[in-house]
Amino acid sequence: MQATAIAQPNIALIKYWGKRDIERNLPAVGSISITLSDLFTEVSVELDEKLRADSLMINGVFDEQRLPRMQLCLDNVIGEQRVRARITSQSNFPIAAGLASSASSFAAATVAAAGAAGLSLKVDDLARVAGRASGSAARSFYGGIAELRNCDNTINLNALCNEHSWPLKVVVAITETGPKHTGSTEAMEISRNSSPFYSSWLEQQDGDLQIARTAIEQRDFAALAEIAEHNCLKMHSVMWASRPAIVFWNSVTLQCLQTVRRLQEDGHNVFFTIDAGPQVKAVCL
């Protein structure tokens, strides 16, 4: 009753920010992301009837703080009456620092948990279960560019283009290696409850998704660049106007944006995006 799985993080081009149902972790908006190839998280789940409690080891260190969320993820996959588990997780990049480690961790944990319990679930179902643990994790089940769509009571995932048909490169600038001050889940709730821009963020998202979908379909890099940067800055504006303000950027984050702007002025096909952390991702043609 042991299984190991590997998943890659994904970077949102059109962002998920806000929840419509906290209990089931349903996002308030759809999103579009690109899955990375070189960064990964490997999770092993060993179910052992002799264990009296679950344990979680991250990069060789027991982590009590992150254990409850991981336990919930396993409960969602296997059921609350499950056998206790030894969980180990290893990432080849900084975790909880705005590099989407929750996406790769919960995607890998979901697959490993299902494998350890001998469950054979379809990819879509695995993605939905992983999404209950972390919204962005649902998108990591698809390579290339994927879209998460909101439906009545659930989410639907689909691949918009695979990694071979439009092989974009993502350069990640790590501006800070420490953990971020506020987790996405908490920060989203602060924004929902206090940002004066939150409702317009929700209203405009479908339009942004449509523009991005068309740009991806037509492999129109310039159009994708324009809408992705706009959507990213809009999400951060929602955060900045929250009370308390949620500011993940540092001075190097801003310098990286200026560097990308200079590259664009010199005619390079590149755009930036930033998630809930200080790191800058430069997406290149």
Per CB under 6 A, residues contacting ligand DP6 are 12, 15-17, 25, 31, 102, 134-136, 184-185, 275-276
Looking at the Cβ atoms of 23 and 265, the one nearer to ligand DP6 is: 23
Q: CB under 8 Å to 140, separation ≥6 — which residues? A: 7, 8, 9, 10, 35, 103, 104, 107, 130
Both tokens assigned to 124: 């879509």
Looking at the Cβ atoms of 25 and 89, the one nearer to ligand DP6 is: 25
- Closest CB 267 distance from ligand DP6, rounded Å: 29
The SS3 assignment for 216 reads helix
Looking at the Cβ atoms of 91 and 134, the one nearer to ligand DP6 is: 134
- Closest CB 59 distance from ligand DP6, rounded Å: 19
Q: Which residues pair with 42 in a beta bridge?
A: 6, 90
Both tokens assigned to 282: 């430069």
Looking at the Cβ atoms of 184 and 242, the one nearer to ligand DP6 is: 184
> How big is the chain, counted in residues?
285
- Closest CB 31 distance from ligand DP6, rounded Å: 4
- Closest CB 187 distance from ligand DP6, rounded Å: 8
Phi, psi of 50 (to 5 degrees): -80, -15
Q: How far apart are CA 119 and CA 39, in angstroms?
A: 27
Q: How far apart are CA 9 and CA 233, in angstroms?
A: 21
Looking at the Cβ atoms of 69 and 84, the one nearer to ligand DP6 is: 69
- Closest CB 118 distance from ligand DP6, rounded Å: 27
DSSP 8-state code for residue 136: G
